[in-house]
Structure 1
Amino acid sequence: MGDKLGKTAGNAVWLNRDKTSPFEFYQYFLRLPDNSVERYLKLFTFLSLAEVEKVMEQQKQDPGKRIAHKRLAAEVTKLVHGKEGLESAKRCTNALYHGNIQALEQMSDTELQELFQEAPYQMIKDGGVRINHQRAANPEQVLVLGQHILSNGLSLIRFGF
């Protein structure tokens, strides 16, 4: 009847920041199928039914804006991770998906580590990453000045085979 949520659905969403960062948590709810959003707005937020109906009406008027998804993700992330967690999730989203350089510059070390902790290393292991035309073989490799970082401060990183 209903869709499963969490580990039985193929992934786990934790309330603990150490297991699911505010960014990952926010993205999980942002990416829910359209047919789940209204139900989750009713179950996981403190929005009134009238407010949920209003949000869903806005969603129907312009589905591409994903207004209901964004509201759900924001409400639930703020509830679980607080205002700071929501701001962090939005900053990471803007830096990663919206090309916002200012958001990237404002990211803390913790946010950067959380954002890239789940980065897929398989491409490196398979030889699909090159740094200055040299194949990178170690996912834990540190970029070294003079070897990976050129004298002008640049590095050419190429992905693909």
Structure 2
Amino acid sequence: MKFFPLYETAPGAGTYQLGSAEIEAVSTSAAVAIAAQSAPEGCRTGVWPYKAVAGLPDSQEPAADEVGKLYDVLSQPTGPTGTFAPSGQVFGSFSTDASGMALSLERFFGFRLGLIPQGEKPAPAATPAPASSSGTTSAAATTSGSASTVSSGGSATPAG
């Protein structure tokens, strides 16, 4: 399935902003784990399930480690420029992955629904990067197929 990350707008704010990096993962919890790698310090992470083609999603049996996981539902009723906020609903991954339910109900409600694991903890404080003699740092996250990996690659050089 495809997802986009949702990051809390500020620590403890309870509203979430849509991220721009597409994630492909085998389950909702796997997508949250990938998104959490880029979470702002002190902020919670969720995901927005995404399907590029219109229509309802195919039923997807949850992965073994996904069964029984519960997610608070975040909604974006004000449209694509608004933030996501808790809706008071809870979806669970039992006979299907919770992300399929979110995609299906988006069609009914007419707005986007995101998912955040119940009891999600804020992202830990960032650890300082080791000093580099060349002044560059590198990191990139990639996802592919049904598995995801984090690998180094690319570089960023300070301007000036």
Scaled to the shorter chain, the TM-score interval is under 0.3
Q: Counting helix residues as a fraction of each chain, which structure ranks higher?
A: 1
* TM-score, length of structure 1 as denominator length: 0.25
* TM-score, length of structure 2 as denominator length: 0.25
Q: Which structure's relative contact order is higher, taking Cα pairs within 8 Å and 6+ residues apart?
A: 2
Structure (1 or 2) with the larger CA radius of gyration: 1
